[in-house]
Amino acid sequence: MRLKNAINDYWESRAEGFSLKTGDDLASEEGIKWLERLRPLLPNAGPRGRALDVGCGPGFFSVLLAREGWEVTGLDYSEKMLEEARGNAAKAGVTVALVQGDAQEPPFGAGDFHLVISRNVTWTLEDPAKAYSSWRRLLGKGGVLINCDGNHYRHLYDGDYQAEKERPERCDDHHPRYIMGVDTNIMAGLARELPLSRLKRPDWDVGVLLDLGALSLDLRLERVGFVGPDGSGRDLIKDFIVRASF
């Protein structure tokens, strides 16, 4: 509980800046690019398919899916993030049901959704395997789980990722416009205690989803190649999308 509350406090402090980023992305080609990525992965659930956006934050995926005609519920542990999501949905002219709750124990019934989707959430969880199991329970027959995540803070435990982070040409992940003075070292300290900072992904995710009975899996990987300090080439998975159908 201590770690979960500390993580929530951090994201509460980031809510305004994160919402600003969400608004900029929804109004730019970033939103279009994400729709192009997601459309081939979405289930054919009819005109009123039910989608749960887990860890919705300020509502980026929630708004995109609502624009596509989905009946969207956004779930987040942070009340401030939900406030921002409410404002972004209103600004976009879409309806999103917003619920406060734990991503590891979503307060919904078995088979309530055709789609469970998440972005940059599992790496922040104390028990991500429990979260995956809960998300699978929420899906009916033919349901789809889409998780967009990355090897965030893997550099804390892996030398290759640390070398990539220290590349002179690498752009900082945290733009001042969206950080708004928040000390991001707080999250780095918390990430040391999180299990997925230590694990090879998406290999771990694939194993868990197969154990949960996934009928098919689809991976989309974003890699980065660079020359390490010893002069040898490296190729690392930075971000990924894993889609599992049940």
Q: Would you list the domain boundaries of the chain?
A: 2-245
Helices (H) and strands (E) in the chain, counts: 9, 7
Q: Which residues of the chain have pLDDT under 70?
A: none
pTM of the model: 0.96
Residue with tokens 């406090």: 9
Per-residue pLDDT at 169:
83
Rounded to whole angstroms, the Cα distance separating 15 from 3 reads 18
Which CATH class name applies to 2-245? alpha beta
What is the reported pLDDT for 173?
Answer: 75
Which of left, alpha, beta for 215 (phi over 0: left; psi -120 to 50: alpha)? alpha
Instruction: Count other Cβ atoms within 10 Å, centred on residue 177.
Output: 10
Q: What pLDDT is recorded for position 47?
A: 72
| Pairing state between β 96-100 and 139-150 | unpaired
